[in-house]
Chain A
Amino acid sequence: MSVRNAILGLLAYRPRHGYELHDAFEAMVGGVENWDLKPAQVYTTLTRLEKKGLVIEDRVQQDGGPEKHIYTVTQAGLAELQKWFSEPVLSDRRRDEFFLKLMLCLAAPDANPRKLIYVQRASLYRELHAITAQRSRVDPKSELAYILLLDQAVMHLEADLRWLDMVESRLDEISRQPIPEPAERPRGRPPKSDES
């Protein structure tokens, strides 16, 4: 969804061909290491957008070269973009693989939840170190957008690290609680409440 809308946004900025879109996207997100968008996804998305009438394709003959496919956003496409701007982005923070691991590690025989926390913490710190180093090389006068993106990543990592400290400090406590089980449900068909 976000790639589709980003393509509409980039085309609203100005018409481009597929590979220009790919490169513009990559530049905007600060490089392939941040978001690896495959060129094939750009082309399939463009095809779908065209079918829905959100973009139109023009074939332009180049002198000597193969013809280029230039895409332009339509009025319907612009409306779609406005709709996207008007909606908030919902976070996915309560759906967390580490949490799953931790719960199951607490229940598993021969598992070491403290080790799990340390491994995760080491990995988060390495990521934070890499981003910190990257950030110190970026020029705030010309690359502010990139700095804001890196700062967001830094702040999330900091929050994750603080949360891990909290989990570690309450590990004994949580270890004593059984992991959540589903509520008991009656077997078979639920009894009909109002027979008519």
Chain B
Amino acid sequence: MSIIKTEQLTKVYGKGATAVTALNGLNIEIQPGEFVAVMGPSGCGKSTLLHLVGGLDKPSNGRVLLDGQDIFRLNDDELTQLRRRQIGLVFQFFNLIPVLEAAENVALPLILDGVKQNDARQKAEAWLARIGLSDRLTHRPDQLSGGQQQRVAIARALVAEPSLILADEPTGNLDSRSADDIALLLRQISEEWNRTVLMVTHDPRIAAHANRIIFLKDGTVVDETRLSSNGHQEEMMVRQKLEVAR
């Protein structure tokens, strides 16, 4: 089953003469473990798409299905739970809490979700180690480079073990070298750790790390390019076929 499916997804901001149609009947489908880039001119609806898929905002029309579940039919508590446990968010400006140390920033989502301090800390440190920052646990954001701050933000997005990572211009505020590192990390997240990654970017060399690129214009999909097959996904398809054959 697709991990993300949108059906005729539409978002209109404002009303009457000043209304802006940000998404206009958009249909996409993404399989588990895929690394997908979304590209398109400024204002074409990329961030809006991510907000709706992440349940941060409601559509004017159409549906978002995550694992087959229409997320806007959930009640508020259920939606909050889904956001905390199934979705990790990464932004252009990192959005770390300035007064907290790296490990505290990473542990925060778990603590908000009621996990015990010690367990949360342990998981946070494990993720920071996995992304190569075990020597920066007690640094505050202002003591880290941009690339390191974004890695911390990615560890924070991963700490609750979500199946889906949504990243809006994750390299938009980085030099090209740190940007490449972050792109490689996102690829690792999908390839090795089997998470689905949906990333918005303007940068062709960042998008080129993905398995697939979806091109938007005026709130709809105008083109799609597969760059490489996704090993995990192929394996799943073979398995599904075997099961059907049985």
Contacts and interface: CB of A to CB of B under 8 A. Distances in A.
Main DSSP-derived SS at the B contact region: mixed
Interface stretch (B133-141, B143-151, B161-169, B201-209): B201-209
A158 B176 CA distance: 13
A162 B207 CA distance: 13
A154 interface: yes
Interface string A148-175: 0000001001100110010001000000
A161 B227 CA distance: 15
Contacts of A118: 215, 222-223
Contacts of A129: 208-210, 227-228
A128 B205 contact: yes
Contacts of A169: 41
A126 interface: yes
Interface residues of A, number: 17
A189 B113 CA distance: 90
Contact of B205 (A132, A133, A165): A132
Contacts of B204: 125, 128, 157-158, 161-162
Given A121-B225, A126-B225, A136 B184 contact: yes
Contacts of B41: 165, 169
B213 interface: yes
A112 to B, nearest CB: 12
B30 to A, nearest CB: 18
A76 interface: no
B8 to A, nearest CB: 23
Nearest to B217: A168
B54 to A, nearest CB: 26
Contact of B225 (A125, A133, A157, A158): A125
B213 A125 contact: yes
Nearest to B210: A129
A118 B40 CA distance: 13
Contacts of B205: 128, 132, 154, 158
A136 B188 CA distance: 12
A126 B227 contact: yes
Given A128-B205, A129-B210, 6 more contacts: A122-B223, A125-B207, A126-B227, A132-B208, A158-B205, A161-B204
Interface of A: 118, 121-122, 125-126, 128-129, 132-133, 136, 154, 157-158, 161-162, 165, 169
10 contacts: A118-B215, A118-B223, A122-B223, A126-B225, A126-B227, A128-B204, A128-B205, A128-B208, A158-B205, A162-B204
